[in-house]
Structure 1
Amino acid sequence: MKVSPNEPFQLIYTLFDHQYLGYLFESFVIQKDTEGRLTFAHQNISAMNAAEFADGLDEADYELIKQMDSMQADTVVKHFEKKRIKPDDYFLKVFDPKNGDQTKQDEIRAYVERRRAKIMPLIKGKRLFEMGNDGEPAWKEIEVLEDEASVLFHFRRNEENTHYFPTIKHRDEKIEFQYKGAYILCNDPAFIVIENKLYSFQKNVDANKLKPFLNKKFIAVPKKIEDSYYRKFVAPLVASFDVYAKGFDIKTEHHDLKPTLYFSELASTNGQSMELFGSNGNANTDLLQESKILFELKFKYGNHSYKADHFKEVNVHVESEDDDYTFYRIRRNITQEKKYLKFLEESGLALRSSQVTVPLGKAFSWIEDTKKFLQDAGISLVQNGKSIKRYFIGKSEMTLEIKENIDWFDIHAIVKFGEFEIPFKVIRNYILKNIKEIELPNGEIAVIPDAWFEQYAELMAFSDEGNAEELQLQKHHISLVKELTESNLAQINLKGKLLKLQDFDKIDDFEIPQGFMGDLRPYQKAGYNWMRFLRSYSLGGCLADDMGLGKTVQTLALLQSVHSEEEAGTSLLVMPTSLIYNWEKEAEKFTPKLKILNYTGGKREKNIKGFSKYDLVLTSYGIIRQDIDLLKEFHFNYIILDESQVIKNPDSIISKSIRELYSSNKLILTGTPIENTTMDLWSQLSFVNPGLLGTKSFFKKQYQLPIEKKKDEASTKKLYSIIKPFLLRRNKSQVATDLPEKIENVRYSTMSAEQEEAYEKVKSAYRDKIMKEIDAGGLGKSQFMILQGLTKLRQIANHPLLADETYEGESGKLEDISYMLENAIKKDQKILVFSQFVKHLKIVSKYLDGQKIQYTYLDGTTKDRQGQVEKFQNDPTIQVFLISLKAGGLGLNLTQAEYVFLLDPWWNPAIEAQAIDRAHRIGQKNKVFTYRFITKNTVEEKIMHLQQSKKQLAADLITTEESFVKNLSKDDLVGLLD
């Protein structure tokens, strides 16, 4: 009966049980009557005519119709049989009980099952019916349930057998399915119809595990086969599904993942004895043939080890003792396992099925280049196998010196494999004959690095044997000498200043200048000496100490020494705008005698002649860009760049502008000399010492591409040797003995223009209200209004969104917080972020979400506090913990954190100290660096001054905001609201 697409209709899906193919589906359209009810007018719909009823179809319907078409009997026959044959005849033949084709039966059933598996997930949200015996498509409707059911497998062991049965729950209610006429529509994943309801399941349950129980209460497993049954059947169930057991134990074990990379020799040697030197003292060059190395990655959890190609979330091991069985569930960290595989692939070792075979030379070059990264990543490198050959995997190094003689160059080299020194002539013979393995005195086999074959091939070929110790290179090979020297492959005798630069341990100790009002820790004094040393040779440098180690104070000591001299001139200090105030405060504290000009703002006086009146001019990168035509006309003593990574792009306008400035000395400060690529380093060091690293194109070819694309450790070493005298970098671990237990810092933030406008508006309104209330009723009766007003101002100082949800502008403090977070995260450090305002934490969490940075979170509503703590402590991918001060200021042990950020310091320093002590406590191995974020020119900054002036107040350990307010005088309030 034809259905009109112009009249109301309903698309339905109908299932019926085919004699040979099992349950099949068909799609129909049924006409509706004026009441919206289904009529008997219906017609089959297929991909051929579906477009006629497009108004009632969605994308899922088109896919369903397509899949249902492909499983119809005639379509199945056409797929498996090229000859034209009727479906009934074909199936009678293939499925004949005696002479049928079992292989073909299995293929056909699998073909239909695959289509059912595609259909079932799409059927949700659709109307499904059972077909009547008369072919009526809408005979009985089946309710398609949206929510997935769960299956619990039960095992009850007794002295005679083990009973096994499953139970089904849906929406926390047990579903009786046995002896209910239930039938299975799809096996994998399981879909089952029970009393006219279609159920799907969590965890991709295989319906074959339910099928035996449709008409059976349980299965009894005899005791004589229980061991095999437990290991082959029960163990996989325990690994993948929820299991309730009685009579044996199921224990879940959590072990740390320990990746181990095994390597072993794949090809055997020629069987000759291995001796380093022959009887005549010459190298025995007929030792070994190049073989191949097999690498294999395994993941260890406790005593259990798994190949890197078998990824299972849970593995189950069965152990029995005295007739007692225990199932141990080992949870694996599949995400981390895959990261290790990716790490190895990116480092040049692409494993396939957990293994890879690499030629000998390339294998040990890879080990030499990558072993530090393996160690840093936590991957153990272990030699495997029972071969008598034990490989040396320590450090291989060659030191080459070329001395100019009368008519030739003498070549002297020291070759070391770990503690063993090998004669250079021996190595030369091995390289010339392309022999890669050499036996060390302790019996280990060292593999000569491939790089030596490449780097020294010309030198070995051109040189002649001279005296007993040295080789000779004729003077006409001067170009080769120059190339080796410039490439840092050889050293030559140098005189004067450069010689002293190479002997970097002999830097003079310079006196702290008069007028400097601070104390330098030993490592800071060393940094000051280093800067003074460079200045004495008119060389620039990069101070790249870790965040919090005091680059500012070291630089101020240098500037004080410079400007204590007569006619020292004027120095220029360039930085991001947000740091101007920080430098002003630090200079005021440590170098109060220096005359400082703040050359920023729209009202700055653009008169460079006036610079001569000052020791130091502070300005921003933005001002440099705007005023470069003016500033480049002034000759500065020092140009110092703070956060010098701003000029990391040599082609940027600001980088080009900075290079136009003129000075006698240059210095740059950064905690991140390399943010993205090694070209960042070129741009910054080429500013302080032009020509140090050659042209940009030379640097890219010689260093950037080999280091970044090939992970070439040799190129890295070359580069380091060049920059070593001009870059000083200390991290916390290096200077730990010189640091106090806690390093406390204040980070001053500048409000954005919109933020400042919002702050001033609220400040004016509350100032009038508070003063009126005080005049009318005195301070005592104005406490609530005072607290309310100060809290409002404090919120705006953090971020106006805390006080006004409609605010759309920026926050200077949030900008600083995000910058500091990014800095610490890049260095793989963990940070605690405290705030008294949950809303403030939410703002920071929104930023972290946007940057796809994982974090843990704790406030008063957090139920699983310990779970959040353990996640932060134990998961290396989580570096940030957001904590409300009230909920997390006490009772937490967070010793993995190295940084503590206090977003909104306020009333009570003792409360903040307690928060800091979440990280700074017994068990903490790292120094704790604390940063208090203060928005300048707000109540935050002014309250800090009040705390300093009211020492007795601080000593009383005020613990509430109300008690703090009670101790404020009217003059104090006037100052806060001024």
Structure 2
Amino acid sequence: MKVASDKPFEIVYSLFNHEFLGILFESFAVQLDEKGRLSFAYQNISYQNAREFEERLDDTDLELIKLMDSMQQEAIVKKYNVKNNKPKEFLRKVFDKEHSIQSHKEVQKLIEAKLEITRAKILEKIQQKRLFEMGNDGNPVWKEIAVMPEKASVLFHFRRNEENTHYFPTIKYQGEKIEWQYKGSYLICNQPAWLVVDAMLVSFEKAVDGKKLLPFLSKKFIVIPRKVEDSYYRKFVTQLVASFDVYAKGFEIKVARDNPEPVLYLGELQGNPSVDMFGKKISADEEEKMVFDLRFKYGDYSFKADQVKPTNVELEKIGDEYIFYKVVRDLKKESFYGNYLKENGLSVRTGRQSMPKREAYEWIINHRPELDDLGIKIQQTANEKGKNYFIGAAKITVRINEKIDWFDVEAVVTFGDFEISFQKFRKLLLKGKSEIELPNKEIGIIPKSWFVNYGEIFSFIEEEQNEDGNFKLKKHHIALAQELEKGNLLKLGLSERLNKLKDFSTIDDYPLSNFFKGTLRPYQKAGYNWMRFLNEYNFGGCLADDMGLGKTVQTLALLAMEKERSEGTTSLLVMPTSLIYNWELEARKFTPKLKILIYTGTQRIKDCSQFGRYDLVLTSYGITRLDIDILKEFYFNYIILDESQAIKNPDSIISKAVVQLKSNHKLILTGTPVENGTMDLWSQINFINRGLLGGQAAFKKQFLLPIEKKNDKDKILKLNAMIKPFILRRLKSQVATDLPEKVINVKYSTMTPDQEQAYEEVKNYFREKIIDEASLPGKSQKSLTLLRGLTQLRQMANHPKMADENYKGDSGKLEDISHMVKSTVSEGHKVLIFSQFVRHLSIVKSFLNEEKIPFAYLDGATVDRQKQVASFQENPDIKVFLISLKAGGVGLNLTKAEYVFLLDPWWNPAVEAQAIDRAHRIGQKNKVIIYKFITRNSVEEKIMALQERKMALAGELISTEESFIKSLNQEDIAALLD
């Protein structure tokens, strides 16, 4: 009967019993009479016509209708009815019990499984919908079934007597017992159980299996005879006790709810092969592996970590009595322990893990404090060789004291309470032995890191001991001693410092010295206060303000106070050579009372005793590297590194030199603390606060790789939290609100025909070369080829003459640059022109000479830097300043410029920002307009797009050419060379 959708109606659901498929559901629209009651006018709804009744349909209705459609006989047989029989006939054959064949049985199982899953989905969604039993005449609203909103509970009863055991379930809803047996109740679904009783549809807690209730619909209880009792109890009742609530008479159920006690069992991996797959003998260290196995103890019971069950039941029979021990496990806590071990390199949550013996014991030694704190016990299992390994704390302490002609080496090695003879230990280490027998006959494993850190330096120690009983190390091995010091021997209580820092929520306002002649802006005064705070608590710091915010003047204010408070002390300021003159000028201006020594030049007096006559020594990184033996002999008050990115590579000579300098305090200044990658940060922080970020290898594993390879936001946040107290970084946009506006424009240039032809030839050459090398092993050659190709393409995008001196054509970019330079100069404006290619500047220089436009010029070979700066700043006739990126990206104050031209895009936007900040800084009164020149349809445009996508790490972790190329995949390379 048709239902009018423009008149009142209601959506209902009806269940009926199909002769083959069991209980199915259908959806209906039922017309309402004038009193709002369900009438006898109804219409079946399918998903196809449901939209006619969308006024009363919600998303759940649409899902229900779709599910119900999928369980109708036509839909069910469609997949299996290959002969296209009528659905009823097909089902009759499949469900024929008398003439059933194996293939029919398999199809029957598949159909029943699908229907069971669909019923469970429907019943979960049918809450708050109207559900009916269908009448025999097809009336969909014959009898309404109330869907009960809460879940019922089932209690399984066992009554054991002398002859048998009676077993039956009882059901309660909201605490009231439901009479459900012998009342025409029936199950709609088994997995999980949904039961219709007295026109109510009931679901159950703990996902009860309907098959456990089915026998009792028409049976009061089940009898378990004594002869099968033991087997029945062990196979069936233990499972029931584990999963559900059970009430028993005649046997006991003991329930334990203890906290899990994690135990990490350690044993040797049995059956290790002595030869590899090629028949080569495996060394002892490679051959022997250890196995970690995590278990959880609950009282007297122990469970493997990979056997994850909410409860475990053990059955014990004493005489004629049965006792069920039910252990309720705390899976949340178990998961916590398992996850902790996994995060720390031990994946034992889902099974055992093996690793080489030395690595296994090194893991224990490294993590033992945390394991003890968490209550994770380590227990060794018996092994065939009868060895018992030491699994306590192992420690090595080495002190190197300088004598006249050598170093004294003192070393203490301990395994727990046992101190080992260093002479014996050293011999084992040099022989590569990984085991050492302790006085209690336990075997100690020498950590792999000790071999890495001390192997070389111990090999140079002389055999004979001196009169003090110490070993001697010749002085020319100082570099090795430095490495050892950097990695292990600086005893800084960093954890205590960090804990102490938490107690300070604000920084005091410190007075300025009378020796400081100047005025600090509010944010500069805050920077001064921060440095004084670090001084007070003996911390090193990194002042990382944006270029142009006055790091120099803040530092001079600090040094002025140091002269007042600590008269007679000397501080050392190390910087690039090009900045020495600027520092001297600024110091004379703001701190005229400071006695300053310029320690540079070939005529310098190489004698550290002279330093004591000065308040401040200014020197360069180059001189520091050359004269480290002199500088390290003097104990400075402050050591300050300007443009400290110079020590970003911890393995460089200058980095190894500056860590030898001695002082009360350390400070670094930089506008770009991170240039190439995260390791830059480690090197500089390790200089000012040794050990704060751990060792170099540990830092790489814990931070560098997760941040740079996986863009792990949690690691970035953790790293920022660790360094935050020791780095002060303010952006111009945050503090220098009085700076004029900065406008950045991108000027797209089009290649000339000659230029485009030259560009395509280079591109095709390198594309073919890279394809040819794609099959070669290793990455270094391919990376080098790609780097060469990209560099040449970038030169072609600027001007092909940069790569080919015989090129006679022109350049689209040069035409645009020439036009804009002439226009800017004619209007009386001053412009800075930056390029990272000196050849490009030479081409522009030729144009300026032809046009008779005077200019200042600065690259790495320029001797009179300050003269060039002064002529641009003070001479009104000089409107143009050509500057190479490396020579002029830092240390220049060029506030007379109103325009900045960036001739070629740079890999590191932070360095680009530094160039812009030569003009956009404190003292600038005019709007600064920046033009970035990009050649269309060239590698420049594509590199910028790739950088945006690949280098978007939080903060400023930007890569250079080499690391950028390492990050490229085949698709990226194809895009660049397309």
- CA distance in structure 1 between the aligned counterparts of 2:527 and 2:414, rounded to whole angstroms: 53
In the alignment, which residue of structure 1 is the partner of 2:140? 137
Which residue does 1:324 correspond to in 2? 321
- 1:215 aligned partner: 218
CA displacement, residues 683-720 of structure 1 (integer Å, 9 cap, x when unaligned): xxx999325999954155773575577579xxxxxxxx
Q: Report the alpha carbon displacement of residue 214 of structure 1 after superposing the two structures with TM.
A: 0.5
Percentage of matched positions with identical amino acids: 44
| Secondary structure class of the residue paired with 2:336 | helix
In 1: Cα distance, 2:439 partner to 2:15 partner:
79
CA distance in 2, matches of 1:142, 1:637: 75
Query: CA shift at 1:187, angstroms?
Result: 0.8
Which letter does structure 2 place at the counterpart of 1:52? E
1:239 alignment partner AA: A
> Is the counterpart of residue 122 in structure 1 residue 125 in structure 2?
yes
Tell me how far apart the structure 2 counterparts of residues 475 and 81 of structure 1 sit (CA, whole Å): 90
C-alpha spacing 1:100/1:18, structure 2 compared with 1 (3 Å):
farther
1:188 aligned onto 2:161: no
- Across the aligned residues of Structure 1 and Structure 2, the Cα RMSD in angstroms comes to 4.8
CA contact 2:542–2:667 (8 Å) conserved in 1: no
Q: How many angstroms does 1:106 deviate by?
A: 2.6
- State the alpha-carbon separation in 2 of the partners of residues 343 and 362 from structure 1: 18
Which residue does 2:112 correspond to in 1?
109
1:294 Cα offset (Å): 1.1
Q: Secondary structure at the match of 1:16?
A: strand
List per-residue Cα deviations over 1:122-161 (Å, max 9, x = no partner).
Answer: 1111111122223332222212121222222222222211
Whether 2:396 is the aligned partner of 1:389: answer: no
> Which residue number corresponds to residue 99 of structure 1?
100
Separation of aligned partners in 2, 1:134 and 1:287: 83
Gap change, CA 1:30 and 1:229, over 3 Å in 2: same
How far did residue 343 of structure 1 move? 1.4
Match of 2:346 among 327, 346, 349: 349
Amino acid at match of 1:378: G
Measured in 1, the distance between the counterparts of 2:44 and 2:24 equals 14
Which of 366-375 and 385-394 deviates more?
A: 385-394
Match of 1:376 among 373, 376, 396: 373
Secondary structure (helix, strand or coil) at the match of 1:487 reads helix
* Alignment pair present for 1:261 and 2:261: no
Q: Quick one: distance in 2 between partners of 1:267 and 1:146?
A: 56
Give me the TM-score of the superposition, normalised by structure 2: 0.51
Q: 2:664 & 2:481 partners in 1: Cα distance? A: 28
Instruction: Tell me if the contact between 1:270 and 1:288 (Cα under 8 Å) persists in the aligned partners.
Output: no
Of the three residues 653, 659, 665, the one matched with 1:689 is 665
Match of 1:245 among 231, 245, 248: 248
CA deviations 1:531-567 (Å, max 9, x no partner) are xxxxxxxxx998788899xx9xxxxxxxxxxxxxxxx
Aligned equivalent of 1:698, options 683, 686, 705? 683
Q: Which residue of 2 aligns with 1:436?
A: 434
2:235 alignment partner, SS class: helix
For residues 142 and 499 of structure 2, what CA distance do their matches in structure 1 show? 79
- Which residue is 2:851 aligned to? none
Matches within 5 A, 1:441-480: 442-459=440-457, 463=460, 466-467=463-464, 476-480=476-480
Whether the 8 Å contact between 1:464 and 1:471 is mirrored in structure 2 is yes
In 1: Cα distance, 2:360 partner to 2:475 partner: 37
- Where structure 1 has 5 or more consecutive residues not aligned to the other structure, the ranges are 273-284, 492-501, 505-529, 531-539, 552-573, 581-598, 601-605, 610-623, 668-685, 713-978
Q: Cα 1:5–1:361, aligned 2, differ >3 Å: closer, same or farther?
A: farther
Report the alpha carbon displacement of residue 630 of structure 1 after superposing the two structures with TM.
Answer: 9.7
Give the match for residue 5 of structure 1: 5
Instruction: Using the TM superposition, give the Cα deviation of residue 381 of structure 1 relative to its aligned residue in structure 2, in angstroms.
Output: 0.5
Does the CA contact (< 8 Å) of 2:274 and 2:287 recur in 1? no
- After superposition, the C-alpha distances for 1:370-420 in whole angstroms (9 at most, x for unaligned) are 011111000100111333232222333334455668887676655444455
The question of whether the paired residues in 2 share the 8 Å contact of 1:631 and 1:661 is answered with no
- Note closer, same or farther for the CA distance 1:635–1:641 as it changes in structure 2 (3 Å cut): closer
CA shift for structure 1 position 163? 1.4
* 2:61 equivalent to 1:61: yes
Partner of 1:446, secondary structure, is: strand
* SS of residue paired to 1:456: helix
Partner of 1:307: 304
Residues 1:271 and 1:198: Cα distance change in structure 2 (over 3 Å): closer
Give me the whole-angstrom Cα distance separating, in 2, the residues matched to 1:238 and 1:436.
51
Tell me, in whole angstroms, the C-alpha distance in 1 between the residues paired with 2:163 and 2:529. 100
Counterpart of 1:689, as a letter, is: H
Q: Distance in 2 between matches of 1:371 and 1:541?
A: 17
Corresponding letter in the other structure for 1:361: R
Q: Is contact 2:285–2:357 with CA below 8 Å preserved after alignment?
A: no
Q: Secondary structure at the match of 2:666?
A: coil
What is the 5 A alignment of 1:667-678?
A: none
Aligned to 1:912: none
Change (3 A) 1:547 1:286: closer
Distance 2:550 2:122 in 1: 60
Equivalences for residues 689-838 of structure 1 within 5 A: 689-691=665-667, 697-698=682-683, 703-704=693-694, 710=701
Q: 1:269, 1:289 within 8 Å by CA — same for their partners in 2?
A: no
Q: For the Cα contact (< 8 Å) 1:625–1:654, is it kept in 2?
A: no
Q: Deviations over 1:50-77 (max 9, x none)?
A: 2332221122212212222222222222
Q: Quick one: distance in 2 between partners of 1:631 and 1:107?
A: 74
Q: Measure the CA separation in 1 of the matches of 2:393 and 2:326.
A: 41
Q: Return closer, same or farther for 1:129/1:99 CA change in 2, 3 Å cut-off.
A: same
Give the equivalent residue in structure 1 for 2:40.
Answer: 40
5+ residue gaps, structure 2: 276-281, 515-519, 567-636, 638-661, 674-679, 704-978
Number of the residue aligned with 1:73: 73
Cα shift readout 1:250-292 (whole Å, capped 9, x = no counterpart): 33234342110101111457899xxxxxxxxxxxx98655422
C-alpha distance in 2, partners of 1:648/1:153?
A: 69
Return the alpha-carbon distance in structure 2 between the equivalents of residues 656 and 92 of structure 1: 93
Q: How does 1:488-567 map to 2 (within 5 A)?
A: 488=488
The 1:543–1:454 alpha-carbon spacing in structure 2 relative to 1, beyond 3 Å, is: closer
Determine if contact 1:347/1:711 at 8 Å carries over to the other structure. Answer: no
TM-score, normalised via structure 1 length = 0.51
Report the CA distance between 1:360 and its aligned residue: 2.3
Note the 1:878-897 alignment, pairs <5 A: none
* Matches for 1:584-603 after TM superposition, within 5 Å: none
Decide whether aligned partners of structure 1 residues 181 and 691 sit closer, same or farther in structure 2, where only a CA change above 3 A counts: same
| Contact 1:149/1:202, CA 8 A, preserved across alignment | yes
Deviations 1:876-914 (A, max 9, x none): xxxxxxxxxxxxxxxxxxxxxxxxxxxxxxxxxxxxxxx
Question: Residues 298 and 445 (structure 1 numbering): CA distance in 2 closer, same or farther, change over 3 Å?
Answer: same
Distance 2:205 2:333 in 1: 24
Residue 856 of structure 1 is matched in structure 2 by none
1:14 shift after superposition: 1.5
Inter-partner Cα distance in structure 2 for 1:143 and 1:575:
61
| Change in 2 beyond 3 A, CA 1:656/1:87 | farther
1:364 to 361, 366, 376: 361
Contact preservation (8 Å) 1:93, 1:100: no
Query: Deviation at 1:293?
Result: 1.6
2:148 and 2:201 in contact (8 A); partners too: yes
CA distance in 2, matches of 1:386, 1:318: 31
Q: Structure 2 residue aligned with 1:335, among 326, 329, 332?
A: 332
For 1:31, the equivalent position in structure 2 comes to 31
1:286 and 1:607 map into 2 onto residues whose CA distance is 67
CA distance in 1, matches of 2:435, 2:554: 52
- C-alpha deviation, 1:27, in angstroms: 1.5
